[in-house]
Amino acid sequence: MSATDEEANGDGNVFKALADNKRRKILDLLKSRPRTTGELCEQFKEVDRCTILMHLEILRKSGLVISKKEGRLVWNYLDSLPIKRIHDRWIEEYATYAVSVLEGIKRSLETQDPAEDA
Protein backbone atom coordinates (compact mmCIF):
# COMPACT_ATOMS: atom_id res chain seq x y z
CA MET A 1 0.00 0.00 0.00
CA SER A 2 1.44 3.37 -0.99
CA ALA A 3 1.71 6.37 1.33
CA THR A 4 -1.13 8.04 -0.59
CA ASP A 5 -3.37 4.96 -0.10
CA GLU A 6 -2.56 4.96 3.61
CA GLU A 7 -3.39 8.68 3.83
CA ALA A 8 -6.70 8.15 2.02
CA ASN A 9 -7.57 5.24 4.33
CA GLY A 10 -6.70 7.36 7.37
CA ASP A 11 -8.81 10.23 6.03
CA GLY A 12 -11.65 7.76 5.48
CA ASN A 13 -11.48 6.71 9.13
CA VAL A 14 -11.56 10.34 10.23
CA PHE A 15 -14.50 11.15 7.95
CA LYS A 16 -16.32 8.05 9.26
CA ALA A 17 -15.66 9.13 12.84
CA LEU A 18 -16.88 12.67 12.15
CA ALA A 19 -20.03 11.42 10.39
CA ASP A 20 -21.82 10.63 13.65
CA ASN A 21 -23.42 13.40 15.72
CA LYS A 22 -22.61 11.76 19.08
CA ARG A 23 -18.95 11.40 18.15
CA ARG A 24 -18.81 15.05 17.11
CA LYS A 25 -20.35 15.98 20.48
CA ILE A 26 -17.69 13.91 22.25
CA LEU A 27 -15.00 15.80 20.32
CA ASP A 28 -16.66 19.11 21.20
CA LEU A 29 -16.53 18.15 24.88
CA LEU A 30 -12.88 17.15 24.61
CA LYS A 31 -12.02 20.40 22.84
CA SER A 32 -12.34 22.35 26.08
CA ARG A 33 -10.41 19.87 28.25
CA PRO A 34 -9.55 16.18 28.66
CA ARG A 35 -12.33 14.15 30.28
CA THR A 36 -12.66 10.75 31.85
CA THR A 37 -14.80 8.14 30.16
CA GLY A 38 -17.23 8.42 33.08
CA GLU A 39 -17.57 12.17 32.55
CA LEU A 40 -18.30 11.62 28.88
CA CYS A 41 -20.92 8.98 29.66
CA GLU A 42 -22.67 11.41 32.04
CA GLN A 43 -23.15 13.83 29.12
CA PHE A 44 -25.22 11.23 27.22
CA LYS A 45 -28.02 10.22 29.58
CA GLU A 46 -30.07 8.81 26.67
CA VAL A 47 -27.30 6.38 25.64
CA ASP A 48 -25.82 3.48 27.60
CA ARG A 49 -22.14 3.29 28.55
CA CYS A 50 -21.38 0.52 26.02
CA THR A 51 -22.51 2.76 23.17
CA ILE A 52 -20.25 5.60 24.34
CA LEU A 53 -17.35 3.14 24.65
CA MET A 54 -18.01 2.01 21.06
CA HIS A 55 -17.97 5.65 19.87
CA LEU A 56 -14.74 6.29 21.78
CA GLU A 57 -13.15 3.23 20.15
CA ILE A 58 -14.02 4.54 16.67
CA LEU A 59 -12.57 7.94 17.63
CA ARG A 60 -9.39 6.23 18.90
CA LYS A 61 -8.99 4.16 15.73
CA SER A 62 -9.35 7.32 13.64
CA GLY A 63 -6.64 8.99 15.73
CA LEU A 64 -8.96 11.76 16.97
CA VAL A 65 -8.88 10.63 20.61
CA ILE A 66 -5.98 9.46 22.72
CA SER A 67 -6.87 7.60 25.91
CA LYS A 68 -4.62 7.18 28.92
CA LYS A 69 -5.38 4.99 31.91
CA GLU A 70 -4.52 6.42 35.33
CA GLY A 71 -5.50 4.05 38.10
CA ARG A 72 -9.21 3.33 37.69
CA LEU A 73 -9.80 6.32 35.42
CA VAL A 74 -9.39 6.51 31.68
CA TRP A 75 -8.64 10.04 30.48
CA ASN A 76 -9.55 10.95 26.92
CA TYR A 77 -7.72 13.68 25.02
CA LEU A 78 -8.55 15.30 21.68
CA ASP A 79 -5.88 14.91 19.02
CA SER A 80 -6.66 17.48 16.33
CA LEU A 81 -3.78 16.45 14.01
CA PRO A 82 -5.99 14.20 11.82
CA ILE A 83 -8.36 17.12 11.29
CA LYS A 84 -5.42 19.39 10.44
CA ARG A 85 -4.18 16.85 7.88
CA ILE A 86 -7.63 16.88 6.26
CA HIS A 87 -7.62 20.68 6.32
CA ASP A 88 -4.18 20.80 4.73
CA ARG A 89 -5.11 18.26 2.06
CA TRP A 90 -8.68 19.24 1.21
CA ILE A 91 -9.40 22.79 2.41
CA GLU A 92 -6.27 24.94 2.59
CA GLU A 93 -5.80 25.30 -1.16
CA TYR A 94 -9.40 26.45 -1.64
CA ALA A 95 -9.32 28.70 1.40
CA THR A 96 -6.17 30.41 0.14
CA TYR A 97 -7.88 31.11 -3.18
CA ALA A 98 -10.99 32.47 -1.42
CA VAL A 99 -8.87 34.79 0.74
CA SER A 100 -7.07 36.16 -2.31
CA VAL A 101 -10.42 36.86 -4.01
CA LEU A 102 -11.66 38.67 -0.90
CA GLU A 103 -8.45 40.70 -0.71
CA GLY A 104 -8.94 41.73 -4.35
CA ILE A 105 -12.51 42.84 -3.67
CA LYS A 106 -11.37 44.80 -0.62
CA ARG A 107 -8.60 46.56 -2.58
CA SER A 108 -11.06 47.36 -5.35
CA LEU A 109 -13.53 48.86 -2.90
CA GLU A 110 -10.83 50.86 -1.11
CA THR A 111 -9.49 52.36 -4.32
CA GLN A 112 -12.91 53.09 -5.78
CA ASP A 113 -13.77 56.80 -6.06
CA PRO A 114 -16.71 57.56 -3.73
CA ALA A 115 -18.04 60.00 -6.36
CA GLU A 116 -18.56 57.02 -8.71
CA ASP A 117 -21.13 55.58 -6.29
CA ALA A 118 -23.29 58.72 -6.35
Q: Please tell me the predicted confidence (pLDDT) of residue 104.
A: 87
Question: In the predicted model, what is the mean pLDDT of residues 54-70?
Answer: 97
Instruction: Kindly give, in sequence order, each residue whose CB lies less than 8 Å from that of residue 74, ignoring residues fewer than 6 positions away.
Output: 36, 37, 67, 68
Give pTM, 2 decimals.
0.72
Q: What is the mean pLDDT of residues 7-17?
A: 80
What are the chain's domains?
3-117 (1.10.10.10)
Q: Is the pLDDT of residue 89 over 90?
A: no
Residue 74 has pLDDT above 90, yes or no: yes
Radius of gyration for the chain, computed over Cα atoms and rounded to the nearest angstrom: 21
What's the longest Cα–Cα distance across the chain? 73
Q: Where are the beta strands (DSSP E) in 21-80?
A: 35-36, 65-70, 73-78
